[in-house]
Amino acid sequence: MRALVFALLVACGSNDTGGHCTLGNACEDYGEADLPAHAQDCKVLTGTWAKGTCPSSDQVGTCITDKNITRIYYKGGTDAFTKETASASCEHEFHGTWKPR
């Protein structure tokens, strides 16, 4: 069974090398560098930290912030983003480059 799980992770491209922080309907991806610090920052902001990359379902779009962090915006729920509000957040709050989905 372990060999099967390992084979699936290798075949699918394991994403356990980084982590992500979810804050409401936004998620930020982090690579391998400084993960403990990013995890701590996420918890201080009352976010949810997890290994791997942000989920890809229900995306409104993606922002590459001025600090070169990938920030993904989601629709649905109480903190839902529209393309307009997500674009404004990306460009004005994070001085980033917006890419709608």
Phi-psi region of 96 (alpha: psi -120 to 50; beta: other; left: phi over 0): beta
Query: What is the rounded distance in angstroms from the CA atom of residue 61 to the CA atom of residue 87?
Result: 8
Q: Judge whether residue 61 has pLDDT over 70.
A: yes
Query: What is the rounded distance in angstroms from the CA atom of residue 57 to the CA atom of residue 34?
Result: 26
Query: What is the rounded distance in angstroms from the CA atom of residue 58 to the CA atom of residue 51?
Result: 19
pLDDT band per the 50, 70, 90 thresholds, residue 14 = very low
**Residue ranges of the domains in the chain?**
16-100
Is the pLDDT higher at 64 or at 77?
64
Q: Judge whether residue 11 has pLDDT over 90.
A: no
Query: What is the rounded distance in angstroms from the CA atom of residue 88 to the CA atom of residue 73?
Result: 11
Question: What is the residue whose two structure tokens read 């995890």?
Answer: 39
Q: What is the pLDDT of residue 16?
A: 59
Helix (H, G, I), strand (E, B) or coil at 38: helix
Cα-to-chain-centroid distance, residue 29: 4
Query: What is the rounded distance in angstroms from the CA atom of residue 58 to the CA atom of residue 16?
Result: 22
